[in-house]
Amino acid sequence: MELSKIFENSIDEFEKRVLPQVYVSKGILLNEAFAICALANYVKCNVIIDSGTHFGRSAQIFAKYGFQLVYTLDRNLSERAFARLRNHNNICMIQGEDHDIIPNILKYHSGERVGLFLDSTKGRNACIFAKELKEQYPQLKMIALHDQCRQHLLKKYFPKSFCSDDEPFLSKYWYLNKRDIKVVKTITKYQPLLDDTFKGFVVGISI
């Protein structure tokens, strides 16, 4: 199926399950999260590895979207992440280094279909790590790399990857980021956090 069709078929379900969503600093953008959820779901991933928990935004989005099991890992798990994620019964939190933990999770789920969101190691190292994992673990059905601002690097390692700032995806689904809400002073007052100046982050996805 064409990518545009996959996204068209997925957007209503994403909005219904994930919104409303409160923005957290350094968190993934909603249009990026949508691309990951839609493509992981399309390739029938039941397990998601969210590498780089920080304050738990991406993990929470994947849990709300309804993946059966979401592992979220960070070298430094925070109290704030625990507080944010504790009500989700499909999340498993692990503290440690991505290079140590991810292969072990993949081995444990050898007969299943796993998606990886790599938001811990960045840049060229992330591409190399992701490519090694892809070659070694056939259960890995989707890989999403965050902050690959230099697309030529991403395309070198994953020539057929999709990028979340590719047109027409960017224009069509950017509105999701304006639906994001930021708590200002009191929890009753919300305002859109992001404006167009935030464009330029990229999630590259290889399936």
Residues found near ligand SAM in the complex (CB under 6 A): 24, 26-28, 52, 54-55, 57-58, 74-76, 97-98, 119-121
Residue 5 beta carbon to ligand SAM: minimum distance, rounded to whole angstroms: 27
Q: Which residue number, 74 or 165, has a Cβ lying nearer to ligand SAM?
A: 74
Residue 100: CB minimum distance to ligand SAM, A? 8
Give the Å distances, CA to CA, from 112 to 27, 44, 48, 82. 27, 10, 11, 27
Q: Where are the alpha helices (DSSP H) in the chain?
A: 3-18, 30-42, 57-65, 79-85, 98-108, 123-136, 151-157, 169-173, 175-179
Residue with smaller CB distance to ligand SAM, 9 or 78: 78
Nearest distance in Å: CB 25, ligand SAM:
8
- Tell me the two tokens of residue 99: 């290079």
Q: Which is nearer to ligand SAM, 122 or 134 (CB)?
A: 122
Q: Which is nearer to ligand SAM, 5 or 108 (CB)?
A: 108
16 or 26: CB nearest ligand SAM: 26
Residue 98 or 165 with smaller CB distance to ligand SAM: 98
Q: Please count the other Cβ atoms lying within 10 Å of the Cβ belonging to residue 175.
A: 10
Supply the minimum distance, in Å, between the C-beta of residue 134 and ligand SAM.
18
Least distance to ligand SAM from the beta carbon of 103, Å? 13
Burial of 5 (0-12, 13-18, 19+ CB in 10 A): exposed
Cis peptide before 20 (omega within 30 of 0): yes
Sheet holding 69-74, edge to edge: 91-95, 69-74, 47-51, 114-118, 140-146, 203-206, 162-163
In the complex, minimum distance from the CB of residue 180 to ligand SAM, in angstroms, rounded to a whole number? 12
- Residues 38, 14 contacting (CB under 8 angstroms): yes
